[in-house]
Structure 1
Amino acid sequence: MTGFDRHDISRRTLFKGAGALGAAAAAGAVSSKNTPVAFADPTAGSRAVSIAGTTLDTVGVPAATGPKSYRRLVAGPAWPLVVRGELATPKAGRDGRRTGLASIVQTTDVHIVDAESPVRAEFVHQYNGSAFRPHEKLGAAATINLVQRINDLASAPFSGRKFDCVVSTGDNTDNHEFVELGWFLTLFSGGTLAQSTGDLTRYEGVQVWGSELYWQPESAVNDLYKQKGFPQIPGLLASSIKPVTSPGLDTRWYSVFGNHDDSVQGTLPSGIGALDALYTGSIKPDLPLRQTEVAQIADAFDNRPADAARMLAAQAVSGPIRTITPDPRRRPFTPRQYIAEHFKDRYTGPGPVGHGFARDAAESGITYYSFEIAPGVVGISMDTTNHAGFTDGSIGQGQLDWMQRLFTRDRTTLFVAFSHHTSDTMELPIPDPERPLERRATGPQLIDFFHRFPNVIAWVNGHTHTNKITPHRGSTPAQSFWEINTASHIDFPQNARVIEVCDNADGTLSLFCTLIESAAPYSVDYSDHSVTGLGSMYREFSYNDTGYEAKRLGTSVDHNVELLLPKPF
C-alpha cells in the first residue's frame, strides 16, 4: 500500500485465558452462545519446537520515556499464541498427532524506495503521512536484516518444518522504477547495491533541502521531526548511499504484483507522457508556494489520479522546482518488464528461475501463476492490481476462470491463495486498460468464489500495512477459509509472518501464524552506521514517524495464532 494509499519478560509469561478472551471478544471472536472460540494458550513455548527469534519470544516496544514525544525501542513482552476456533473446534492431543504439511514465510510491502526520485510528491505528507517517511533512505539495510532473520530461523516454530518458500505479496518497489526493482531483486537473491540515484557521491533528496517539512538529519534545522524529538545524526545520509551487500534468501522465493509495482507512487497511472518524462530528468517538483495547491494535489492523488499526474507535470514547467542529477535507471517499468527482470541470471538466487512467473509471461502479460509449496499444497499468486491507477484493486474474470480449473482439477490438493490487496480493499471493478472488455470482481465477490471450493484454506495478503486475521465461514464448515493480512516491512511494526499448514489427524487442520521482526537490535548508538545499525534505526524511526498509526499493530487475535478449520477431504 503506502505512497498515497488510504489506508524483558519471559516467553512463558503469556496472556491467560480471561485476558485474551477479552481481546478476542473485542475483535468479535466469541460465538453467539458466548462460548469462547479464541483464547491465549500459556503453553505455547512447550507446544513449539522453538520460539527463538519470533515475537513469541520478545517484541520491540517503545520505551516509557524519551525526549519530547520521541521514544526509543526496547525488548518488550512476547505476543501470546491465541488459538482461534471460529471455523473448527480445537481437539485435545492434536500436538502429538500433528504433521507439518507446508511452511511459508510471507513478506509484504517491502517498498524499496528511490528517495531521490523526481517523480515523488513528498510535500503532501501533511495530508498523507506515507508520502514521505524519515527512514526511507535506510530501506536496503533494513531489508538485509529481514533476510538475515529468515535465514537464521530456517524452519517454522511449531512443526519444525524447514521453510518451503518465501512469498513477497506485492509493493516490492515504491515507484515502479527499474532501479528500485533491481535493488529489491538483489536484496532477496543476494548481491551488492547502493541505494542511491543521480549523483552517487551525495544525497540529493528533500532531507538536505533545509525545509522544516522534512526531517533534516544532518543539519540543525528545527524541522517538524526534531520538534517531536528526532535526533540530529551527522553522516547518516552519507552512510545511507554507501554500497551494502545482502546474503540473499536461503529459501526459494516468489514474487507477487502490487499496485506500487505498477503505478506512480502506487496511485497514478503510467503512460502520461509529461509525467513519465520526469522520471529520468533533472527537474524535481518542490513544495508549492500556496497551501491550497498542496491540498488540491493531495486530493487529486486520492480521488483523481490522472489529474494529479497532470498537476505534477505542470508544476515541473511552472515551478517551484529543484534541479537534481538525472539518471536513466529511474525509468518506469511495465508489468511485462517487471516479469522479465525476474528471469535475469543475477537475480536467480535460491530460485526458482523467474520466481514464479511463467517463461512466456513477459510476452503474454500474465502476472498470475500457481506453484507447488510442498507435496499436496499449492500456492496461487493472484494479480489484484488495476492498471487504470488508484490504490484499490479488483480481479479479472480470466484469473477466476483459471483458478476454477485448478481447484476443480485437483480436489485433493490444498490451496493457499496470495495477493497484494485484501478483501476490503478490492472495490475498483472499473475496466482494466490491459483488458478493457474483461469483467472484474470485487473483494466480496472473490470471497464468494473461494467459498465454492473446500480445498481453498487460506488467502494471504498485504496492502493495508496492518495485522488482521479474518475467518470467512462458508455455507458448510468445509467451505470456510481464513484471510491472513500482514503488516508491512516499511511502516511499524514491520512484521513478516511464518505460516504453517498442519494436519491434526483428527479431521481438522491448524494454520500456525507467527509474526517475526528483522534481525536488527531494537536500539543502537546513533554513531553505528553498519548495516545492522542502520536497520535498527530504520525500525525506530518508523515508530516515531509522524504518519505512524497504532492500529497497524492489530490485536492479540491478529498476531501469533493457531487457526483451526475442517480438513476438506
Structure 2
Amino acid sequence: MAGIETQIPTNRRRFLLSSGGAVAGVGAAWALPSQRSSSGTPGAAPAQPLTQTSPDRPGARRAAPYGATTLDTAAHLGGSGGYRRITSGPGWPLVVRGELAAASSGRQDRRTALACFVQFTDLHVADVQSPLRTEYLRAGSPGSWRAQEALSVAGAVSLVEQANAVRGGPHTGRPPAFVMSTGDNIDNHSTAELEWFLTLMSGGRITPNTGDPTAYEGVQNSGLALYWHPDDALRDQDKRRGLPSIPGYLEAAMRPVVSPGLRLPWYSTPGNHDDLPGGCLAPQDPVLADYVTGARKLFSVPDADVAAFAKVLDSGGDPKSTVLKDILRHNAAGARTVTADERRRMFTPHEYLRAHLDPAVAGAGPVGHGYTDNHLDGDRMYYSFTVAEGVIGISIDTTYRSGHYEGSLGTEQMRWLERTLAAHSSRHYDADGRLVRNTGADDAHILVFSHHHSPSMTRRPDAGRAEEQRHDGEEVIALLSRFPNVVAWINGHSHVNHITPHAHPTAARSFWEVNTASHVDYPQHARIIELVDNHDGTLSLFTTLIESAAPHRTDFDDLSAVGLASLYRELSYNAPGLAAGLHHGVHEKMAGTPADRNTELLVRRA
C-alpha cells in the first residue's frame, strides 16, 4: 500500500522480552484504608491482590508483558488442536503511514512531544449471573456467549495495572497524562457493574458476584452442554473442542479482587452497553426492569425463539424489545430459580452521571472524569477537556437511548461539536467549502473521542430523543474535515483494530480514525497514543498497542487474580473459530493488519 513503511524493531531489550530472556518489575493491587469496597458481602472470602509484592519493592519481578508494549512482545497461540496455549512471541513492528502526509528523513531527531495518554475501550465488565443476559443465543451462533466472561473484572484490573506500569510513551518517553475509556465500560447496564467499573478505575475492593453471596447461579454449572462447565466432568460442547476442566474456577471467579486504581487521571466516554441493557434493549422498560432484579432466569429457549430474537437484534427493528419480552413470557415455566438482587437494576443517564461525580470514585481525578454538575442539566454526556498544552480533547456521546447497538449524533450535539471545534480553530471551512477565519481563537491540535466508529453510526431515529434529527458517521467525518487542526478521531465498538485515513481534497484538511479492539474479546488490546510535532510541517500520532499485565503463560492450577487474568486472555484467544482452522482470517480481521497496530500516522500541521 502506498504511503506505508514498516520498521522492524531490533533493539536488544525487545529481543530479550520477546524471547523470555528478560522480565520486568511487578505491580500490585493494594487496598488502601481510604479506598471503597464495591459490592462486598459480609463474611466474603478475602480479596485477592493481583500480586503479592509492591511495584516499588526492590527485586519484585514478573514476566512480560508487565511493563512492556507489543513492540516488545505479544501473545501468540502455540501448539495445535482445539485448545491452544498462549506463548510469548516477538513484538510487532512499527509501521509508518504516510497517506495523509509524507514522512521526511531526520524527523526522529527534531521532533517535540506534545501529548501522551492511554486508551481503554470495550472492557465489558460483566455480571455473568444477571437474569436478563441472553446466553441462550449461543444455540444459533457459538460466538454469542464468551467462555471467559466470568473473569472480566480480574482481566480489567490487570489492564489497570499495566497502565500504571507505563512510565513513558515508547517513542517520546513522555509519561501518560491520563487514560480515556471509550465506552462499553460495562456489559449489562446494571448498577452493580457500574460500581465495579468505577471502583476498578479508581481503586478498591470488588466482589464480582450478585445474587447468592455463597454460590454461582449462572449458565456454567447449569448442566447444559451448550456452555463450558469448568468445574465438573460434563462433556459440554466446549470441552469437546478442547477447553479444559479447571476445578475451583467458578468459586475463584467470584472471589473479591482489589484494584490498585489508576495512578493517573482518567476520563469516561459512554457506549451502548453503558446506556442500554445488553447494549441494545429498551432502557427502563418496566417488564425488563422487573425481570433483571427478579428471581427467575432463562438458561435455554427453543431454537425458533433463538432465531427470532437474533433476527431483530441484527436488524434493530424492535426498539421496544417486544420479541424478547414475548420470549420471557411464554418460556416462563422453563425458567430456573435464582437469587433476586436489587443491585442488578438498570440506571438512568442522570444516575450514570451522578455515579461518576461521586467523590468516592475520584481516584487520581478529575472528579466526574470529564463530567461536571452542569452535565446533569439535560443529562448531557459530551464534553471537552485539555489533553496537554495546545491539545484539546472532545468526547462525544454516540449512543441511541431508545435501544439499539448502532450509534449517531443528534442535531444539538452536532451543533455543539461544531462550536467547540471552531472555538479552538483560527480558521476552518464552512459546509460549502468557504474559508472562515476566527481571529479570536487560538489553534489547538484536536483529538475527538467516541465509542462508535464511523461505519457503525446511522441516521436511525432515536425514540428516546424523537424530536431530534440524527446524524451518521459520514456526516461526522464531513464536519471534522472542515477543521484543519483535527488530528484524529479515536474510538472503539467494533472490537477490531483498524486505522483509516480520512483524506479531504484539500490535503491540509485530513485526519486519522483510530479504531481499537476490545479488552473482552481477542486480542484484548489497549493503546498508548503519543502526539509529536516533527517541525517540518507535519505531526505524527503514534498508536502502540498494549496487553494487560498478566503473564502470557497460564497455569490451570493458579486461580489467583493474576492467574485468572492470564486465563481470561487465553480463553478469549480460543473462542470458537479462532484457535481452529479459521484462525488466520479471523485473527487478522480482529487484531488488524500490521498497519492497524503499532503505527506512526503522519498528518499535515494546521
How far did 1:418 drift?
0.4
String of CA shifts for 1:42-101, please: whole Å, max 9, x gaps.
3575999x9960000111010033xx4110100112100000000001111111111110
Contact 1:267-1:305 within 8 A present in 2 as well: no
Q: Does residue 472 of structure 1 match 2:502? A: yes
Amino acid at match of 2:255: K
SS for the counterpart of 1:268 is: coil
Q: Does residue 367 of structure 1 match 2:398? A: no
Contact 2:320-2:403 within 8 A present in 1 as well: no
Q: 1:527 aligns with which of 542, 545, 557?
A: 557
Contact 1:523-1:536 within 8 A present in 2 as well: yes
1:444 matched residue in structure 2: 474
Q: How does 1:453-532 map to 2 (within 5 A)?
A: 453-532=483-562
Contact 1:39-1:83 within 8 A present in 2 as well: yes
Task: For 1:255 and 1:128, locate their aligned partners in 2 and report how far apart those are by CA, in whole Å.
Answer: 32
1:10 matched residue in structure 2: none
How far did 1:547 drift?
6.3
Task: For 1:42 and 1:307, locate their aligned partners in 2 and report how far apart those are by CA, in whole Å.
Answer: 49
| Residues 194 and 547 of structure 1, relative CA distance in 2, 3 Å threshold | farther
| Residues 47 and 376 of structure 1, relative CA distance in 2, 3 Å threshold | farther
Q: How does 1:335-350 map to 2 (within 5 A)?
A: 335-350=349-364
| Residues 432 and 315 of structure 1, relative CA distance in 2, 3 Å threshold | closer
Number of equivalences: 529
SS for the counterpart of 1:151 is: helix
Contact 1:509-1:567 within 8 A present in 2 as well: yes
1:11 matched residue in structure 2: none
- TM normalised by structure 1 equals 0.90
Q: Does residue 393 of structure 1 match 2:407? A: yes
Q: 1:61 aligns with which of 76, 89, 94?
A: 76
Contact 1:431-1:437 within 8 A present in 2 as well: no
Q: 2:179 aligns with which of 138, 143, 166?
A: 166
Task: For 1:373 and 1:364, locate their aligned partners in 2 and report how far apart those are by CA, in whole Å.
Answer: 25
Q: Does residue 561 of structure 1 match 2:573? A: no
Q: Which runs of 5+ in 1 are unaligned?
A: 1-24, 31-36
SS for the counterpart of 2:96 is: strand
Task: For 1:218 and 1:83, locate their aligned partners in 2 and report how far apart those are by CA, in whole Å.
Answer: 47
SS for the counterpart of 2:465 is: coil
Q: How does 1:375-390 map to 2 (within 5 A)?
A: 375-390=389-404
1:12 matched residue in structure 2: none
Q: 2:340 aligns with which of 326, 338, 342?
A: 326
Q: 1:414 aligns with which of 445, 456, 468?
A: 445
Q: 2:123 aligns with which of 107, 110, 124?
A: 110
String of CA shifts for 1:346-400, please: whole Å, max 9, x gaps.
2100000000012122332111000101111011101111112221111112122
Q: How does 1:59-138 map to 2 (within 5 A)?
A: 59-65=74-80, 68-138=81-151
Task: For 1:510 and 1:532, locate their aligned partners in 2 and report how far apart those are by CA, in whole Å.
Answer: 36
1:222 matched residue in structure 2: 235
Task: For 2:219 and 2:571, locate their aligned partners in 1 and report how far apart those are by CA, in whole Å.
Answer: 17
| Residues 130 and 463 of structure 1, relative CA distance in 2, 3 Å threshold | farther
2:455 matched residue in structure 1: 424
1:311 matched residue in structure 2: 323
| Residues 253 and 277 of structure 1, relative CA distance in 2, 3 Å threshold | same
1:18 matched residue in structure 2: none
Task: For 1:211 and 1:203, locate their aligned partners in 2 and report how far apart those are by CA, in whole Å.
Answer: 15
How far did 1:132 drift?
1.6
Task: For 1:272 and 1:454, locate their aligned partners in 2 and report how far apart those are by CA, in whole Å.
Answer: 44
How far did 1:125 drift?
2.1
Q: How does 1:545-560 map to 2 (within 5 A)?
A: 545-546=575-576, 548=578, 549-550=586-587, 551-560=589-598
The 4+ residue runs of structure 1 with deviation greater than 6 A are: none
Task: For 1:508 and 1:313, locate their aligned partners in 2 and report how far apart those are by CA, in whole Å.
Answer: 55
Q: Does residue 298 of structure 1 match 2:310? A: yes
Amino acid at match of 2:510: S
How far did 1:475 drift?
2.3
2:437 matched residue in structure 1: none
String of CA shifts for 1:305-359, please: whole Å, max 9, x gaps.
6378333333434322111000000000122211110011221000000000121
Contact 2:191-2:343 within 8 A present in 1 as well: yes
Q: Which runs of 5+ in 2 are unaligned?
A: 18-66, 426-442, 579-585
Contact 1:285-1:312 within 8 A present in 2 as well: no
Task: For 2:327 and 2:504, locate their aligned partners in 1 and report how far apart those are by CA, in whole Å.
Answer: 51
Amino acid at match of 1:316: L
2:294 matched residue in structure 1: 281
Contact 1:468-1:554 within 8 A present in 2 as well: yes
Contact 1:388-1:431 within 8 A present in 2 as well: no
Task: For 1:348 and 1:135, locate their aligned partners in 2 and report how far apart those are by CA, in whole Å.
Answer: 29
Contact 1:297-1:308 within 8 A present in 2 as well: no
Contact 1:170-1:257 within 8 A present in 2 as well: yes
Contact 2:356-2:369 within 8 A present in 1 as well: yes
Identity of aligned pairs, percent? Answer: 45
Task: For 2:506 and 2:10, locate their aligned partners in 1 and report how far apart those are by CA, in whole Å.
Answer: 30
SS for the counterpart of 1:479 is: coil
Contact 2:123-2:185 within 8 A present in 1 as well: yes
| Residues 305 and 430 of structure 1, relative CA distance in 2, 3 Å threshold | closer
- TM normalised by structure 2 equals 0.85
